Amino acid sequence: MATCTRNVWKVLSGCQKQLLSAGGPSYLAVSQAAPRTLPIRTYAAVRALKKDKKEEAKKEEKKEKRVIDDKDRPKPFGKTAWVPVDDVYVKRFYARVIHSAADSIDMLKRFQKLDFTPADQPVYIDLKLDMKLEKKKKVDPFVSTVHLPHPFKTEMNKVLVFTEDSGQATFAKENGAAFVGGAELIQPILDDEISADFYVAVPDMLTKIVPLKNKLRKKFPKSKRGTVTNNISQALQLFKTGHEYQVESDCFVRTQIATLDMPSEQIFANLQAILTDVCSRRPASLGPFVERAIMSSQTSEAIWFRTESVLPEAAQTDEK
């Protein structure tokens, strides 16, 4: 009995020492003042460096668009010559071929014979203009009417003249005006009973024909187009047989110049007349006005051509 009692006291004393040790659990009755070994950090974190403002400003700058010049395109690896050997080749591997205006016209005529397409199909040009001027100014988009040396239209343009003067009215009728009158023509025009290709008005009639602005839109008489004038004879002479073109999408001119069944010399003369009128809209001292010129027919592919061979020699010397 005495031996058992001693063993029990030994066990209890050992448990008491274990419970009172510093590493005991927190939920037991252990003194909070007992010494503890806590981890101590002996190093400092690296401070993040601020980005330089100059570097941020450089990144924010917009990158300029890279203009690729197709004329000086480098020769790809493995090719033996600049000029393609065959007439069928991958275009992106070679420099773009830019023809003269006369050669372009001959090519269109040859395409028409090979494709068995209509001979009287229209011939178009597509010009891209450099509208920049000095001091960040630009050439305003314009509308112009030019006399072609060889008109391709079979019918004359219909011209309507707004005037209330009896003398001007009789003169306009004698010189080929399709319709002549004053405010009484407003309602028939709104009802689509009367229509014309060009509308000419004397300055006194502008305030009276204001209701036609939404109806006529671009055809409404304006002094910039030369459709508001007192010189009715000159206006009729210009608009009856004239060819009108305009700048679209800020810098493009797309217009018909002839039909493919016309002789090559006549097509070239019409092209020269339009290009000369276009280039007169900007000072020649600022450089070439036409950046890119394309010629095509209704069923053919687009052919790039040089405008230097079309413009008169005087205009070329001024641009240089």
Indicate whether 130 pLDDT > 70. yes
What domain range includes position 257? 97-152+243-319
Q: Is residue 34 included in any domain, yes or no?
A: no
The model's pLDDT over 183-227, given as tens digits with 9 standing for 90+, comes to 999 999 999 999 999 999 999 999 999 999 999 998 999 988 889
The model's pLDDT over 12-60, given as tens digits with 9 standing for 90+, comes to 666 555 555 544 454 444 455 555 566 666 666 666 666 566 566 666 6
303 and 166 belong to one structural domain: no
pLDDT for the residue 224:
85
Least confident of 19-33, 83-97, 269-283: 19-33
Structure tokens at 284: 């020649």
d(CA 147, CA 242): 5
255 and 210 belong to one structural domain: no
141 and 252 belong to one structural domain: yes
Least confident of 64-73, 125-134, 146-155, 202-211: 64-73
Q: What's the rounded mean pLDDT across residues 254-270?
A: 96
CATH of the domain at 138: 3.30.190.20
Q: Is 301 helix (H, G, I), strand (E, B) or coil?
A: coil
CA 176 to chain centre: 39
- Residue finishing a domain among 241, 272, 296: 241
Q: Is residue 291 included in any domain, yes or no?
A: yes
257 and 284 belong to one structural domain: yes
Indicate whether 252 pLDDT > 90. yes
136 and 271 belong to one structural domain: yes
297 and 193 belong to one structural domain: no
pTM above 0.75, yes or no: no
Q: What's the rounded mean pLDDT across residues 120-146?
A: 92
- Residue finishing a domain among 211, 241, 271: 241
Structure tokens at 172: 């306009």
What's the whole-number average pLDDT of the chain? 82
d(CA 139, CA 180): 35
Q: Is residue 3 included in any domain, yes or no?
A: no
pLDDT for the residue 72:
62
pLDDT for the residue 27:
47
127 and 268 belong to one structural domain: yes
140 and 180 belong to one structural domain: no
d(CA 106, CA 102): 6
Indicate whether 256 pLDDT > 90. yes
Q: Is residue 129 included in any domain, yes or no?
A: yes
- Residue finishing a domain among 207, 241, 275: 241
Contact 164, 204 (CB under 8 A): yes
102 and 229 belong to one structural domain: no
- H/E segment holding residue 198: strand 198-201
229 and 258 belong to one structural domain: no
Q: What's the rounded mean pLDDT across residues 270-280?
A: 94
d(CA 192, CA 180): 16
What is the tally of structural domains in the chain? 2
pLDDT for the residue 85:
76
Q: What's the rounded mean pLDDT across residues 71-85?
A: 59
The amino acid at residue 138 is: K
Indicate whether 77 pLDDT > 60. no
Indicate whether 251 pLDDT > 80. yes
Percent of the chain scoring above 90 in pLDDT: 54
d(CA 10, CA 77): 96
CATH of the domain at 206: 3.40.50.790
255 and 108 belong to one structural domain: yes
Determine phi and psi for 246, rounding to 5 degrees: -150, 160
252 and 142 belong to one structural domain: yes
Q: What's the rounded mean pLDDT across residues 54-70?
A: 64
